[in-house]
Amino acid sequence: MLDLVPRSWSLKDIIVWKMDIGFDTSKGKFQPLYEHILWFVKDPMRLTFHPERLGPDGGSNIWYVPIQKGNSHRRLGIRHPAMFPDELVRRMILLASEPDDLILDPFLGSGTVLEIALELGRNATGFEIDPRYEESIQLRLKRIEHQTSP
């Protein structure tokens, strides 16, 4: 995965997403209750960092955010295997960007990052190679257009 990151970018931090998930452990494995989020920056000297926007636990790199449940209305009928919870995406965008900044999601999936970025007043773009998720992305964009229309 690190080969996908431009060599000029620097690893700023690693955030641990602590989640509540209940996988069957009968296969001799521990339950996966966390995931790493690698935070890269293009220019460490021009860093946007606002932990105060995250509330009381903003000073920690361990974030507890429940997973997006399979029956959540936010899934829009799409069963993406790695759908990030809105709150996790919201925290990342608030922490590391300003209004009108450009948010890039190189793996759009169902479009969560795109939707949350636009809701927070950021510009956003991304890529998705699997055409099965195009409908979900379009639905999210329409929902944003509807919310911002007069």
pLDDT(10) > 90: no
Chain CA centroid to CA 92, Å: 7
Give the model confidence (pLDDT) of 77-93 as tens digits: 566 777 788 999 999 99
Predicted pLDDT at 22:
60
Residue 37: beta bridge partners?
Answer: 15
Domain ranges in the chain are: 2-148
Report the C-alpha gap between 79 and 69 in whole angstroms. Answer: 10
- pLDDT the model gives residue 31: 77
pLDDT at 140 over 70: yes
| Topology (CATH level 3) of domain 2-148 | Rossmann fold (3.40.50)
Q: Predicted confidence band at 55 (pLDDT cuts at 50, 70, 90)?
A: confident
Tally the residues of the chain: 150
Report DSSP letters for 128-147, one per residue: ---GGGHHHHHHHHHHHHHH
Distance CA 137, CA 115 (A): 8
- Residue 75: pLDDT band by 50, 70, 90 thresholds? low
Q: For the residues 95-99, what does the mean pLDDT come to?
A: 96
